[in-house]
Amino acid sequence: MKCIFQVMFLLCLIMPAGGKYLRRVVCVAAPSTRSIMSTKVGRKRQSPIWDYFEYDSVLDKSNCLVMERDKICGTFLKGKNPTNLKVHLKNLHKKANLAYLEKVRENAQASCPETEANPRQGSGMHAETTPQKTLMQCFQRRPDGCWLVNSQEHHKREEALVNMFIETGISTQLSESIAFKNFSNSLEPKFRTPGAARVNCLIGAKVDIAKQKLKELIKEARKLTLCVDGWSKRGLTASFMGVSACFYHPPGGQVHHALPNLHRLEHPHTGEAIARCIDQTLEEWAVGKEKVLLVVTDNGANIVKAVRLLQNRRRTDDTNGSQDEQRAAGEGQHEMWMESESEESDTECEERGDFDLELQEYGESSKFHRMPCLAHTLQLTIKDAMKHPTADSVITKARKLVHAVRKSSVANEEMIKRCGKTLIRDCTTRWNSTFDMLRRLLETRAELNQLLEQLKMDTLLTSDWAKLENLVKLFEPFAIHTDQLQSDSQSLSQVVPCLLNLEAHLLTSPFRNPLAQVLLKSLRERFAGILNPDSTQFDATPAGACLLDPNVSLILQSLDTASLMKAAKSFVQNLAAQYNPRTTSQDDVNTAEPTETVTGVPPSVLQKYRFLASRIELNLSYVNQDGLFTEMEKYITEVKQGVFNETPLHFWKARQAVYPKLAPVALDLVSAPASQAFVERIFSVCGLLSSGLRNRTTTSLEQRVFLKSNKKLLLD
């Protein structure tokens, strides 16, 4: 039977004359086959035109079912285009066409009962079309009842949505999600959620606004401290160089630490490439060489070389400025960063142990010099001590114990149940992580030993626990001062007190052991450029900041720090000369004689540095000179006589009228940071914004990081 139907179907296709009758025979003789074919019609058709036609998916034809003169039309039309079916009704079946148009009119009135029937809707093929929108409605492109795109209400919520993407770091593709649109519509039905393209456009506009504000702030600043560091994505698909700027803003009276640029850094990461990134930042933001107070970096050989190249270039610009202006445009763009072949290569970025500053004498005016990150260098000192056999053996045992507990889910759950804490693993790139690991072991010692005994696991010996306690006591001041020095700003004045306090801590009798001696030796070698004025690499900037911080200035007034006090005064004198050329000359400073010398006990303000406070005696000498030096001695006298609970920034802001020449210098120095921790935190944001499916972002990453880091500048 099946074969007969197939043959008849082929005859329908081949024989045009008898095809009409054969098709009817197929439909009558095989109703079951016809019903099976009709099941593949597809989605349900809503137009009234299908009351007069039936579509056959096998033949891909529409059959006319109109009954006229007791006879079905039976005409087959190709496909299922409603337009062709309407034309067939209009031309061959007038009564059926009128009935069809009446049904269309009734359906339109049922869907829009408040709208009267359109008289033009009764004829033609466009009778069932909806009323056309006006020209303004087409330009608005919004559903009825929504706010206009340029309305204040829409702009207000659009601004809040963009700020949410900037603050949270969420991908802008969220705005394309149907679930998010439904959520937004449930909160405010009149607000139409913008798409990802619109949100990205608004983010770009915010970047331009923020850059303009930041340029105005930098233009009004007197001095800047640049922090430079590099970062690569987790998949090593791209590398970036971050350049931040910390400065005091005189009109606003605030300290800002902003991120001007996040440069895409192509391989190789040489000193020349890094120098070009830094110089590009200075040119883009119109920062002159006289504005750069310090360049804070890590001890990588390529970054050290980059700063040296900038120093050499700027010295050349000072002496041969007229010759540089005569160079042709585009000539020597890359050659100016190349050193001679005698210079050491820096293709490998390795950590350097020395305190390489390459500065001029502290009494001279130095421009654009580098200072290593103090927190980073302090951690290198701790690593030197951890390599000692006494510390290395017990730390290795503790690390193995932590690893054994952390890899067991049973042990981790039991630790949380017993004490609400888990053990901490150390990380070579995270500051104080080894100290945190040892301290957590001691905090959970009782619960950990009980758990290890229950799980039949080995624990540390009693002697090992005693060694861990000594290590924690030895390293604790280093951890405290590392946290103190890694603030975003206003930490440069804490450098000298922290280092002197650590030195006094290591000289204390209970800790005079071989490990403490190793720490003391490493501390003095690495920070000789800050603590020893006789060093060839001495930098008086931290000492000058310490002198102008009223909370710690007394530290430099002891007999043991007389040489540091002299260097700090000389540095402040020369720096103030850049603010006011008529300042008292250096000869007047050197010839000044003290009129009185008294010794005393340090006040309670120095109890923050308890190891140092017990060892110093104050030198209360002062002199009386005119100009800047008079203000200096007046300030020193005020510090000796009073105890200040306010920050150094508030101290100098309130006394700008009392110290008109000294206050600008002090505000710029005490505002400077001592580490590059701000840039490190920026890279944490970069890792968040480039994780997962966004690991290939470059331009949008720079914009999002710039806005998130400088969000305070966006506040009106």
The string of DSSP codes covering 160-226 is HHHHHHHHH---GGGGG-HHHHHHHHHH-TTPPPP-HHHHHHHHHHHHHHHHHHHHHHHHH-S-EEE
Q: What is the pLDDT of residue 329?
A: 37
pLDDT at 24 over 50: no
Position 693 confidence tier, pLDDT thresholds 50, 70, 90: low
Compute the average pLDDT of residues 272-292: 89
340-344, 399-403, 641-645, 657-661: least confident range: 340-344
Compute the average pLDDT of residues 393-420: 90
Give the DSSP H/E element, type plus range, for residue 248. strand 239-249
Angstrom distance (rounded) from CA 542 to CA 477: 20
Cα 358 versus chain centre, distance: 31
Q: What is the pLDDT of residue 2?
A: 46
Q: What is the pLDDT of residue 127?
A: 43
Q: Please, what's the b/e burial string for 184-220 (b: 16 or more CB within 10 A of its CB; e: otherwise)?
A: beeeeeebbbbeeebbbebbeebbeebbebbeebbee
Position 607 confidence tier, pLDDT thresholds 50, 70, 90: low
Take residue 322 and report the two structure tokens written for it: 């007229």
Q: What is the pLDDT of residue 318?
A: 55
Give me the amino acid identity at 362: Y
Give the DSSP H/E element, type plus range, for residue 243. strand 239-249
Give the DSSP H/E element, type plus range, for residue 292. strand 292-297
Angstrom distance (rounded) from CA 104 to CA 111: 11
Q: What is the pLDDT of residue 245?
A: 92
Q: What is the pLDDT of residue 132?
A: 66
Angstrom distance (rounded) from CA 489 to CA 293: 14
Position 265 confidence tier, pLDDT thresholds 50, 70, 90: confident
List, in sequence order, every residue forming a beta bridge with 600; answer none if it has no partner: 618
Give me the amino acid identity at 344: E
Q: What is the pLDDT of residue 111?
A: 58
pLDDT at 664 over 80: yes
Q: What is the pLDDT of residue 247?
A: 92
Angle (nearest 5°) at CA 39 between 35 and 41: 125
Q: Going edge to edge, which strands form the sheet with 292-297?
A: 254-264, 239-249, 224-232, 292-297, 370-372
Q: What is the pLDDT of residue 49?
A: 87
Angstrom distance (rounded) from CA 302 to CA 295: 14
Position 669 confidence tier, pLDDT thresholds 50, 70, 90: very high
Angstrom distance (rounded) from CA 265 to CA 409: 42
Give me the amino acid identity at 549: D
Compute the average pLDDT of residues 539-562: 88
pLDDT at 637 over 60: yes
Q: What is the pLDDT of residue 80?
A: 83
Q: What is the pLDDT of residue 228?
A: 92
Angstrom distance (rounded) from CA 546 to CA 485: 13
* DSSP reduced 3-state for 407: coil
Where would I find the beta strands (DSSP E) of 568-666?
A: 599-600, 618-619
Angstrom distance (rounded) from CA 62 to CA 57: 9
Compute the average pLDDT of residues 546-550: 90
Q: What is the pLDDT of residue 95?
A: 85
The tens digit of pLDDT for each residue in 32-80 reads 444 444 444 445 567 888 888 988 888 889 999 888 878 888 888 888 8
Angle (nearest 5°) at CA 12 between 6 and 18: 135
The tens digit of pLDDT for each residue in 567-602 reads 999 899 888 888 776 544 444 444 444 444 434 445
Percentage of residues in the chain with pLDDT exceeding 90? 19
pLDDT at 343 over 70: no
Q: What is the pLDDT of residue 81?
A: 85
Residue of 77 and 328 predicted with greater confidence: 77
pLDDT at 134 over 60: yes
The tens digit of pLDDT for each residue in 87-101 reads 888 888 888 888 888
Q: What is the pLDDT of residue 665?
A: 92
7-16, 143-152, 346-355, 430-439: least confident range: 346-355
451-460, 511-520, 660-669: least confident range: 511-520
Angstrom distance (rounded) from CA 690 to CA 701: 7
30-34, 641-645, 648-652: least confident range: 30-34
Give the count of beta carbons closer than 10 Å to the beta carbon of residue 473.
Answer: 12
Angstrom distance (rounded) from CA 576 to CA 574: 5
Cα 618 versus chain centre, distance: 45
Which domains are present in the chain? Answer: 48-103 (no CATH), 135-194 (no CATH), 203-338+675-713 (3.30.420), 374-574 (no CATH)
268-282, 434-448, 693-707: least confident range: 693-707
Q: Assess contact for 586 and 525: CB atoms under 8 A.
A: no
